[in-house]
Amino acid sequence: MLKAFFWFTDIGFIAYWAITALHIIPSDLLFKDYNNPLMVQWNWSFIFLDLLISATGITSLIYSIKKQKKWLVFALISLVLTFCSGLQAIGYWAIGLEFDIQWWIPNLYLLVYPCFFIFPIIRELEETK
């Protein structure tokens, strides 16, 4: 199940940033003040974190396919970073009292799904010592 989440999330991040760079998202689906230069800067500040999440998630999948235990380390890193990405976005909008369900749902996904896998991976890593 975790691997399916990784594929969905990691490809999703890559697709989101490609779509964002190409300005494909219709303007009626953009979040409030999307074209404000500060909001553009805030949004693009996530690219480094999000692409690192994709890189660690895909690396984890590759190591998993090769049956190498270090897949767990990369999975844990990816999950923690994913949680942080979701938390940062939700935190920003919560502080500003902006509740746009179109943007909250994907970020709540990023915040919540890792919680189901982080501690089982930590336990598995402790057992492999």
| Confidence at residue 9, expressed as pLDDT on a 0 to 100 scale | 96
pTM: 0.90
Instruction: Report domain extents, the chain.
Output: 2-18+44-127
The Cα–Cα gap between 84 and 80 comes to 6
| Confidence at residue 125, expressed as pLDDT on a 0 to 100 scale | 93
Mean pLDDT computed over 24-30: 78
- Summary mean pLDDT of the chain: 93
* b/e map 103-129, b = 16+ CB within 10 Å: bbeebebbbebbeebeeebeeeeeeee
* b/e map 46-80, b = 16+ CB within 10 Å: beeebeebbbbbbbbbebbeeeeeebbbbbbbbbe
The Cα–Cα gap between 99 and 97 comes to 6
For residue 43, name the pLDDT band (cuts at 50, 70, 90).
confident
